């Protein structure tokens, strides 16, 4: 059986010599897709709509990874002094990929920045820093290694996330300083941190699954996190089969 292809956008940045541009994506994302019997396809940023459309035509699912802060211009706010590094062109590229994935009815897994970016793409907004959201937040940007867990996440029992993880509470890692403020259209908050900040969102049919933590770094320490990637490739395989049948 053909394995599903999962598109993962990467970023272009200067290499260690300060002159050569390199494509960047932490290997853990690709490894997580491979471990779920999917084929990761790295998607370099481009402003060309035809190239984006052609690239995504080879994909059966989309994984939006972590990274910098989404530019607040996309949710009609001015930059706050606590805003981190932004990349307007990268945001525009990834939002365009997400829009194409929606049109093609591809499953999407958004991780950390990926969750925030999808929320913005669907008309939602962000707290530009967690300090603006609550007076006494828990630690959301850990100093511990990425594979270590730091705080509890409470999960709604009627959610797809609960079905996948099989628990109403899990401990996760945490590496972010922004948070979802207003949910985007069609998105439901299905998990929260002890301070009330959103930690996961999904749509009605579960084809959009968004988490604020980094499951790709927890495959060994919290094995149930593998199910998030397995579900992505499962849904991607179904999407691929539907397209194949419709082409006959």
The residues assigned a catalytic role are 112, 214, 216
Rounded CA-CA distance 219/223 in Å is: 5
Report how far residue 116's alpha carbon sits from residue 140's, in angstroms, rounded to the nearest whole number.
15
Instruction: Name, in order, each residue with C-beta under 8 angstroms of 202's C-beta and a sequence gap of 6 or more.
Output: 159, 160, 161, 187, 188, 190, 208, 209, 210
Q: Which residues are CB-contacts of 244 (< 8 A; sequence separation ≥ 6)?
A: none
H or E stretch including 247?
Answer: helix 226-247
Give residues with Cβ within 8 angstroms of 16, minimum separation 6: none
Instruction: Phi first, then psi: give them for residue 155, nearest 5 degrees.
Output: -115, 135
């Amino acid at each position: 059986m053909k394995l599903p292809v999962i598109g993962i956008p990467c970023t272009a940045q200067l290499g260690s010599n300060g002159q050569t541009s390199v494509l960047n994506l932490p290997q853990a994302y690709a490894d997580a897709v491979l471990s779920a019997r999917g084929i990761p396809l790295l998607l370099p940023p481009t402003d060309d709509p035809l190239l984006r459309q052609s690239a995504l035509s080879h994909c059966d699912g989309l994984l939006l990874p972590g990274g910098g802060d989404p530019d607040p211009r996309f949710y009609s706010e001015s930059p706050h002094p606590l805003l981190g590094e932004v990349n307007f062109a990268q945001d525009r590229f990834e939002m365009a990929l997400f829009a194409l994935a929606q049109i093609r009815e591809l499953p999407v897994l958004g991780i950390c920045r990926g969750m925030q970016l999808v929320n913005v793409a669907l008309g939602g907004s962000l707290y530009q820093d967690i300090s603006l959201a609550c007076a006494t937040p828990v630690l959301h940007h850990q100093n511990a290694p990425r594979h270590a867990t730091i705080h509890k996440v409470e999960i709604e029992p009627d959610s797809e996330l609960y079905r996948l993880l099989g628990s109403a509470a899990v401990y996760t890692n945490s590496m972010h300083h922004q948070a979802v403020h207003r949910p985007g259209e069609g998105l439901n908050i299905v998990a929260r941190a002890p301070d009330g900040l959103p930690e996961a969102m999904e749509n009605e049919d579960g084809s959009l699954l968004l988490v604020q933590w980094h499951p790709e770094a927890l495959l060994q320490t919290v094995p149930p996190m593998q199910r998030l990637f397995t579900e992505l490739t499962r849904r991607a395989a179904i999407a691929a089969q539907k397209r194949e049948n419709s082409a006959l």
